[in-house]
Amino acid sequence: MKKYYIKERHNPQLGVYYVLYGQLTKKDAKNKEKSLYGQNIIISYDTIEDYNKAILTFKEEGHRVQ
């Protein structure tokens, strides 16, 4: 079963923002964690409801979401 993923991106020049990926395999999600500059943190969600709730929370908190 595929999970839903959001990447928390820490870029020294742009700050912190979130990138939405939707459903990915575990292998694909692990590859998204790699970064040449800055840091990426992959957050996984088991259900679409939890994924959508997290997106709303990030937006309500004023974070940039892509």
- The residue with tokens 């309500």 is 60
pTM of the predicted model as reported, rounded to 2 decimal places? 0.89
Q: How far apart are CA 27 and CA 54, in angstroms?
A: 22
Q: In what order do the strands lie in the sheet with 39-45?
A: 39-45, 3-11, 15-24, 64-65
Neighbours of 55 (CB within 10 A): 17
Q: 6-61 pLDDT, tens per residue?
A: 999 999 999 999 999 999 999 999 998 888 888 999 999 999 999 999 999 999 99
Res 63 pLDDT > 90: yes
